Chains A and B, each alone.
Chain A
Amino acid sequence: MNTSIDKHFFFAKYGISEHDLEKYLAAALSAGGDYADLYFEYLSSTSLSLDESMVKSASQGISAGCGVRVVTGERTGYAYTDDLAPEKILRAARTAALIASGPAKTPVVSLKEHLRPSLYPVADAAADAELSEKVKLVFRADKAARAYDPRVKEVRASYADELRRILIIGSDGTYAEDVQPLSRMSVFVIARDGQVSAKGSSGGGGRHKFEIFLTEKTPEHFATEAARQAILQLNAVACPAGEMEVVLGPGWPGVLLHEAIGHGLEADFNRKKTSAFSGLLGKRVASEKCTVVDNGTLNERRGSLNVDDEGNATNNTMLIEKGILKGYMADKLSAQLMGLPNTGNGRRESYEHIPMPRMTNTYMLAGDDAPEDIIRSVKRGLYAVNFGGGQVDITNGKFVFAASEAYLIEDGKITAPVKDATLIGNGPDVLTRVSMVGSDLQLDEGIGTCGKDGQSVPVGVGIPTLKIDRMTVGGTGSAE
């Protein structure tokens, strides 16, 4: 296993022993409770940003701490400390214990290792590449974006990487350690032509070696893409408003799936019956062309994890199969309370946060339609290929997102680029209107970050080209 280089990191660095862990968990369960766990985290991060052709600043940070959780029934007590001295962890454990009120319980602590997958290479960040190599990336991006077109006036490029080490010990014998690398590049461009300005952005990365930025995901690749979008937008026309046919391009537009469907299938909302998808297991929620999975086990993807933040292996979970709702994404608490399988979707932003069900890489499987045929079938509609952010109201299912690159489709042909289109719809409804699914599944380039209850985690999304028969498009152009 690759992770062996960092095995027992916390034991070595902080002198933690098995006996200490038993003591902490015993304190956590000193007032009873069904379950307790400790989450140790040590995160080191580096970032560089280029702006006006200068690397104006570079940052490095170290954040370490331990979160203690005590669960009793549906109740959770949580406390954390950023000081890993034994007395501080004990104090956090005693604070978290206040959630329960009963006789003390004895935890079962086991340091027996389970065989884990190894989905990503782990190298010591410093050994992986010199800082000077990382600096070169952002300069290359700057050069490539400016070379694309003289109308490119502003370029910002950034590179960031992190290495997260985690150790999870649960009172039920859970024991997991993982080392999770994550890196990304991003490029933002503003183009100007007379009085008209437009922007473009691109980026990507994942849990891989630095080398990938020199081979596949090069700075030129991202810079050219950002510049292309900005130049294109210079000539964009106002987006027509109203209901129309919408074709989503492959890859990142899968963010629609994430917002419209994914969040509503997180088990916590369904346990509390606050999701528009509550009680729909086994029911039709999409057209039969739609099969959707959440898969945390893909090699080197941004949303992948060997183990989730509760120490469970991640899975390839079937969410919707041929239109029928098959499963929810669960963490320990939801699985226990709902009698569902634990799908290894318990994630948290950091030791300061309580884990909850979250997505990993969520995507729709490829269908049979040729992407060209999909476009050809549209008389008048919108072809959306890139998106900014999206948002969903889980309870009523309404979702919104903004297309950063979109075109009109007229009589089966892609015509003028439009600016600032917004798509709005209803989660339980939108997939029932999918009438064509392309054969061209793509996952995004590795730039997605999902926010829920104030916690951000890296995720992946993907779709093949999709046709949605009717959707509301917002824009400033006149309606027909």
Chain B
Amino acid sequence: MATTIASTDVNLRELAQGAVKRALELGASAAEAVASEGSEFSTVVRLGEVETLKESGSRAMGVRVFVGAHTANTSTSDLSHEGVEQLVRGAIELARITSEDPVAGLPAPEQLGQLAGELGLYYDDVYSLPAEDRIDRARRAEKAALAVDPRLTNSEGGTFDASIGRKVLANSLGFVGEYRSSYSSISAVPIASDEHGNMQRDYWYSVARTISKLESPEEVGRIAAERTLRRLGARKIKTQRVPIVFDRQAAGALLDHIFDAVNGDAIYRHASFLAGRLGQKVFGSNLTVIDDGTIPGGFGTRPFDGEGVPTRRTTVIEGGELKSYLMNTYTARKLGLATTGNASRGLAGTPGIGNGNFFLQPGEKSPEEIIRGIKQGLLVTEFLGFGVNLVTGDFSRGASGQWIENGEIAYPVEEITVAGNLREMFSNLAEIGSDLIWRGSIACPTLRIEGMTVAGE
């Protein structure tokens, strides 16, 4: 049993603050350090036998220094005194070769801060679960999946993963903050074969910050089995234009593209079809999209962003009107706006932009009602490939799903592509489902979209 992070012999907070102080001593005009540590456990049980057990802990630190208007970053997993000294000196030396960029810098002091109160991001039970219990959950998920139907003849396994981490951010404006987080997940990936030996695979999972909120392994296995079985006997369909229903998983992938399109970085570079559209009614009146980094227990919740700015709730699109981009300090300054507290920060490199809990405001109808309203159409449940051009909004991805005939699921469909333009697609939301369920930091209810091209035979 590896020890958990509580036993670490290095104090991350002191380490990060020490690196910032050292950077200023060595001539930096401003500096920021991020240190993190984490432990992870994962297990895969395949066909009833433990296939892999993995358990580990890690720690590392990154610094960003400003020397006048020059910026550089370094990162290391060597947290010895010499390692940290080399880290800081390296960053300052590196800053000598970068260009002057007057826009670069830390947030303004008054922008710094963090949410108060318990955000429900960390639970001890994730990591205190005994190893045998973790293996047992993975085993049960797979077993439950394979028990559903004799056509489920093989498996890529059942899994149980758990991880905990701690992150500290400190900067030379006096900000220091830290938070812990925990995750656990269960999944099952069964494989079904039809009478011709054609195989299909699908999966299901549950993820939660505490074991007590995980779906049972049996539930995960059962849904995985159903999702796999419904793919058997999939056909191609003719090339045509039909109404398309995107289930929650597929709709979430579409909404992810909207996040990319409102990302301040893509906006200031004019690399998004939404650049220059702030305040305009770009989409249909029924579209409202919100980013909220403050929802207790949310997968996109943090007390402060990657630059020490408190997270918040931002209305991104309201009634079809583009209300706000999502920005960090740099991109906000480029656009003459204020940061929305969406800086994301790994250990290496400059801060990027990340979402909080990003979602599309749900509508009234259940997914079943939406499907019932379609005479002939397609239910897309999965995308394959990456055919999205953010500059133009053009969208063309491989897909699989189910054919809808007279409001009923008729047969599975595969080896097709669906194509359209993101702006038009989100302007043509004929129906928005009521089924907003958080399974990650981006959530979208079932959507029905008109006017897209399905390519098949």
Instruction: Tell whether A and B belong to one assembly.
Output: yes
Are the C-beta atoms of B74 and A91 separated by less than 8 Å? no
A419 within 8 A of B: yes
Are the C-beta atoms of A389 and B386 separated by less than 8 Å? yes
B177 within 8 A of A: no
A170 within 8 A of B: no
Are the C-beta atoms of B350 and A57 separated by less than 8 Å? yes
- Which residues of A are found within 8 Å of B154, using beta-carbon distances? 272-274
- Which residues of A are found within 8 Å of B420, using beta-carbon distances? 476
Among the 9-residue stretches B92-100, B178-186, B218-226, B313-321, the one with 4 or more Cβ atoms under 8 Å from chain A is: B92-100
CB proximity of A344 to chain B, nearest CB, Å: 22
Rounded to whole angstroms, the CA-CA distance of A65 and B400 in the bound complex is 41
Are the C-beta atoms of B77 and A65 separated by less than 8 Å? yes
Are the C-beta atoms of A475 and B453 separated by less than 8 Å? yes
- Give residues of chain A (77-100) contacting chain B, Cβ–Cβ below 8 Å: 77-83, 91-92, 95, 98-99
- Which residues of B are found within 8 Å of A390, using beta-carbon distances? 385-386
If A75-B52, A472-B236 touch, whether A197 touches B199 (CB-CB below 8 Å) is no
CB proximity of B155 to chain A, nearest CB, Å: 8
Are the C-beta atoms of B397 and A422 separated by less than 8 Å? yes
Are the C-beta atoms of B201 and A198 separated by less than 8 Å? no
A58 within 8 A of B: yes
Are the C-beta atoms of A75 and B271 separated by less than 8 Å? no
Rounded to whole angstroms, the CA-CA distance of A354 and B191 in the bound complex is 23
Are the C-beta atoms of A395 and B191 separated by less than 8 Å? yes
Rounded to whole angstroms, the CA-CA distance of A246 and B83 in the bound complex is 54
A132 within 8 A of B: yes
- Which residues of B are found within 8 Å of A475, using beta-carbon distances? 396, 417, 419, 453, 455
Among the 9-residue stretches A16-24, A290-298, A396-404, A455-463, the one with 4 or more Cβ atoms under 8 Å from chain B is: A396-404
A420 within 8 A of B: yes
- Which residues of A are found within 8 Å of B104, using beta-carbon distances? 56-57
- Give residues of chain A (436-480) contacting chain B, Cβ–Cβ below 8 Å: 472-477, 479
CB proximity of A10 to chain B, nearest CB, Å: 14
If A56-B101, A61-B74, A241-B453 touch, whether A424 touches B415 (CB-CB below 8 Å) is yes
Chain B interface size range: 35 or more
Query: Contact flags (1/0) for A225-257 with B, using CB distance below 8 Å?
Result: 000000000000001011100000000000000
- Which residues of A are found within 8 Å of B201, using beta-carbon distances? 274, 393-396
Are the C-beta atoms of A192 and B270 separated by less than 8 Å? yes
- The answer, among B56, B74, B271, B417, for a CB contact under 8 Å with A400, is B417
- What are 15 pairs between A and B in contact, CB < 8 Å? A54-B98, A58-B94, A63-B76, A63-B77, A79-B54, A81-B56, A95-B1, A391-B398, A396-B231, A402-B385, A424-B385, A424-B417, A475-B419, A476-B421, A479-B239
A131 within 8 A of B: yes
- Which residues of A are found within 8 Å of B131, using beta-carbon distances? 98
Are the C-beta atoms of A420 and B199 separated by less than 8 Å? no
Are the C-beta atoms of B394 and A76 separated by less than 8 Å? no
- Which residues of A are found within 8 Å of B400, using beta-carbon distances? 398
- Which residues of B are found within 8 Å of A389, using beta-carbon distances? 385-386
Are the C-beta atoms of B97 and A135 separated by less than 8 Å? yes
Are the C-beta atoms of B74 and A56 separated by less than 8 Å? no
- Give residues of chain A (282-311) contacting chain B, Cβ–Cβ below 8 Å: none
Are the C-beta atoms of A400 and B49 separated by less than 8 Å? no
The residue of chain A having its C-beta at the shortest distance from the C-beta of B77 within the complex is A82
- Which residues of B are found within 8 Å of A99, using beta-carbon distances? 50, 52-53
Are the C-beta atoms of A388 and B386 separated by less than 8 Å? yes
- A422-B419, A474-B416 known; 17 new pairs, CB 8 Å cut-off, are A54-B100, A56-B71, A57-B104, A57-B350, A61-B62, A61-B347, A75-B50, A82-B59, A95-B2, A192-B270, A241-B453, A242-B456, A274-B156, A401-B385, A422-B397, A476-B421, A479-B240
A318 within 8 A of B: no
B389 within 8 A of A: yes
Rounded to whole angstroms, the CA-CA distance of A477 and B421 in the bound complex is 12
Rounded to whole angstroms, the CA-CA distance of A209 and B419 in the bound complex is 43
- Which residues of A are found within 8 Å of B191, using beta-carbon distances? 274, 395
**Which of B77, B386, B457 counts the most chain A CB atoms within 10 A?**
B77
- The answer, among A60, A77, A199, A476, for a CB contact under 8 Å with B419, is A476
Rounded to whole angstroms, the CA-CA distance of A272 and B191 in the bound complex is 11
A64 within 8 A of B: yes
B285 within 8 A of A: no
B407 within 8 A of A: no
B55 within 8 A of A: yes
Q: How many residues of A contact B (CB 8 A)?
A: 79
The residue of chain A having its C-beta at the shortest distance from the C-beta of B334 within the complex is A52
Query: Contact flags (1/0) for B223-241 with A, using CB distance below 8 Å?
Result: 0000000010010100110
Rounded to whole angstroms, the CA-CA distance of A391 and B398 in the bound complex is 9
Rounded to whole angstroms, the CA-CA distance of A117 and B347 in the bound complex is 36
- Which residues of B are found within 8 Å of A241, using beta-carbon distances? 239, 417, 419, 453-455
Rounded to whole angstroms, the CA-CA distance of A202 and B234 in the bound complex is 37
- Give residues of chain B (262-291) contacting chain A, Cβ–Cβ below 8 Å: 269-271
A154 within 8 A of B: yes
Are the C-beta atoms of A55 and B50 separated by less than 8 Å? no
If A64-B77, A391-B398 touch, whether A422 touches B52 (CB-CB below 8 Å) is no
- Which residues of A are found within 8 Å of B416, using beta-carbon distances? 424, 472, 474
- The answer, among A61, A76, A472, for a CB contact under 8 Å with B51, is A76
**Which of B46, B387, B400, B418 counts the most chain A CB atoms within 10 A?**
B387
Are the C-beta atoms of A396 and B414 separated by less than 8 Å? yes
- Which residues of B are found within 8 Å of A368, using beta-carbon distances? none
CB proximity of B94 to chain A, nearest CB, Å: 5
* Interface of B: prevailing SS: strand
Are the C-beta atoms of A154 and B271 separated by less than 8 Å? yes
Are the C-beta atoms of A422 and B398 separated by less than 8 Å? yes
Are the C-beta atoms of B60 and A82 separated by less than 8 Å? yes
- Which residues of B are found within 8 Å of A395, using beta-carbon distances? 191, 199-201
- Which residues of B are found within 8 Å of A56, using beta-carbon distances? 71, 98-99, 101, 104, 350
Are the C-beta atoms of B200 and A473 separated by less than 8 Å? no
- Which residues of A are found within 8 Å of B56, using beta-carbon distances? 78-81, 92, 95, 352
The 7 closest A-B pairs by CB, nearest first: A474-B417, A400-B398, A400-B385, A241-B455, A402-B387, A395-B201, A54-B99
A26 within 8 A of B: no
B402 within 8 A of A: no
A190 within 8 A of B: yes
Rounded to whole angstroms, the CA-CA distance of A128 and B57 in the bound complex is 34
If A78-B54, A426-B415 touch, whether A60 touches B94 (CB-CB below 8 Å) is yes
CB proximity of A415 to chain B, nearest CB, Å: 20
B198 within 8 A of A: yes
**Which of A63, A135, A273, A392 counts the most chain B CB atoms within 10 A?**
A63
Rounded to whole angstroms, the CA-CA distance of A83 and B76 in the bound complex is 11
The residue of chain B having its C-beta at the shortest distance from the C-beta of A470 within the complex is B457
- Which residues of B are found within 8 Å of A473, using beta-carbon distances? 417, 455
Rounded to whole angstroms, the CA-CA distance of A142 and B78 in the bound complex is 35
Are the C-beta atoms of B52 and A76 separated by less than 8 Å? yes
A153 within 8 A of B: yes
- Give residues of chain A (135-167) contacting chain B, Cβ–Cβ below 8 Å: 135, 153-154, 156
- The answer, among B97, B386, B415, B418, for a CB contact under 8 Å with A402, is B386
Are the C-beta atoms of B398 and A398 separated by less than 8 Å? yes
B18 within 8 A of A: no
Rounded to whole angstroms, the CA-CA distance of A197 and B392 in the bound complex is 7
Rounded to whole angstroms, the CA-CA distance of A361 and B104 in the bound complex is 40
B406 within 8 A of A: no
Are the C-beta atoms of A420 and B270 separated by less than 8 Å? no
- Which residues of B are found within 8 Å of A422, using beta-carbon distances? 385, 387, 396-398, 417, 419, 455
A113 within 8 A of B: no
**Which of A82, A197, A422 counts the most chain B CB atoms within 10 A?**
A422
- Give residues of chain B (395-416) contacting chain A, Cβ–Cβ below 8 Å: 395-398, 400, 414-416
A421 within 8 A of B: yes
Query: Contact flags (1/0) for A169-208 with B, using CB distance below 8 Å?
Result: 0000000000000000000001010000111000000000
The residue of chain A having its C-beta at the shortest distance from the C-beta of B231 within the complex is A396
If A58-B73, A400-B385, A472-B236 touch, whether A74 touches B51 (CB-CB below 8 Å) is yes
B370 within 8 A of A: no
A108 within 8 A of B: no
